Amino acid sequence: MERIHMADIIPLLPLEIPPKGKSSFYVPCPKCDRGKQKKDRHLNISLAKDVFRCARCGWNGGIFDFYAYYTSTPRSGVLSELKRRLGSDGSANGDKPPYEKQGGTPALTAPGNVTLPVADIDARHAAYSALLSLLSLAPDHQKNLLDRGLPQKAVSENEYRTTPVIGVKVLAKALLDMGCNLAGVPGFYLDSGGQWTFISMRRGILIPVRDAQGRIQGLQVRRDDQAKRKYRWVSSADIEGGANGCGAEGWIHMAGLVRERIILIEGPLKADVVYQLTGQTAIAVPGVNSLKRLEATLAELQSLGMKRIMTAFDMDFLKNPHVRNGYGELTNLLRHMGIHFGTYLWDPNYNGLDDYVWECCLNRGLNA
């Protein structure tokens, strides 16, 4: 039979039929949606990519995972069950599960530029931690970080690294040998020869983006000599000539322990600097209009004792309508969640709070 697609199994499950002409659609997530209101539809089913993912709880996977959950069929028995129900003769790609072992990590067998769902946080943290352990920080990048106010100890502990410019296949192989799973980890993908590799990117500083438990969710890169779009996510979605890549998802970064009052700032590196210079816990959105994952993070922090947010977007929000719109969306979200909040303002000659705080430290003769 031909390869089984998501559209083939939807009619076999207790789900609504996809809207005609749609390549993806939303349904209530069986793990976290109550389904009582129309907005309770956070599970996205991609017919084009044959994957699913919940925007709220993060549940994700491929066709076999989807069918196994809804039918309570052991995953190992899904293929034979689908053959029976779909009338398969077991030929072509139908006699293989969509995942097979390759180099110690699962990989989709479908040809072409397939994008995988994001791996869970523990798999990502393990892979990224192992990757950073194999890389180093160039002297010019270390100086850049120190000049921002980060102490040497923080530079080391935060595991900033210089992007690898050569040997990316060797790095991927080393991680596989260390037992890391690279499938679904943004930045890694299969090349045209079927080998796992890491993306090639412009030289810059790799910045770990961590959750409340200190685990690395993803990586950002601060690109050298770049005036615009200096900060980019490490992502391997839609790599030309590659397959099984994965896109980043705009994760929220946290610097410091959960406290009653937390600063919310734009950019993970700025959050690290503010935390080191002030001792105040800071969380960072990747951009002023990148609030997609913020609600879930704030809800988690509320459950851990956070009571107040102090916003600290760059001072250009006073005159930049793009930034001001993002600030408006943020305050609406905070009100909706019942979170008390305030806004820090400072000398607009220093656009970022990190720059302003560091200048204050220098003027006071403090050694951060």
**How many Cα atoms occupy the beta-carbon half-sphere of 141 within 13 Å?**
21
pLDDT at 199 over 80: yes
CA distances (Å), origin 2, targets 95, 167, 186, 229: 9, 37, 29, 42
Query: For residue 338, what are its two tokens?
Result: 């019942």
pLDDT of residue 354: 92
Residue 279: partners with Cβ closer than 8 Å, 6 or more residues away: 256
**pLDDT tens figures, 55-84:** 888 888 889 889 888 887 888 888 888 888
Query: In the structure, what pLDDT confidence band is assigned to residue 38 with cuts at 50, 70 and 90?
Result: low
The answer regarding whether domain 121-233 maps to CATH 3.90.980.10 reads yes
What is the second-level CATH architecture of the domain 6-97?
Alpha-Beta Complex (3.90)
Radius of gyration of the chain (CA): 23
Residue 97 has pLDDT above 50, yes or no: no
**Percent of residues, the chain, with pLDDT higher than 90:** 46
DSSP letters spanning 290-351? --TTHHHHHHHHHHTT--EEEEE--GGGGT-HHHHHHHHHHHHHHHHHT-EEEE----TTS-
Of the chain, the percentage scoring pLDDT greater than 70 comes to: 88
Residue 364: predicted pLDDT: 73
Domain boundaries, the chain: 6-97, 121-233, 253-363
Give me the chain's average pLDDT, please.
84
> pLDDT (tens digit, 9 = 90+) per residue, 303-361?
999 999 999 988 887 777 877 788 888 999 999 999 999 999 999 889 899 999 998 88
As a whole number of Å, the end-to-end CA separation of the chain is 65
Kindly indicate the confidence band of residue 17, based on its pLDDT and cuts at 50, 70 and 90: confident
Q: Give the integer Cα–Cα distance in Å for 251 and 248.
A: 8
Give yes or no for residue 174 having a pLDDT over 90: yes
CA–CA separation, 71 and 147 (whole Å): 57
Q: Which CATH architecture has domain 253-363?
A: 3-Layer(aba) Sandwich (3.40)
Question: Which phi and psi angles does 269 have, rounded to 5°?
Answer: -65, -40
Backbone angles phi, psi at 185, to 5 degrees: -100, 110
Tokens found for residue 169: 């296949």
pLDDT tens column, 103-151 = 344 433 333 456 678 889 999 999 999 999 999 999 999 999 999 999 9
Work out the pLDDT band at 154, boundaries 50, 70, 90. very high
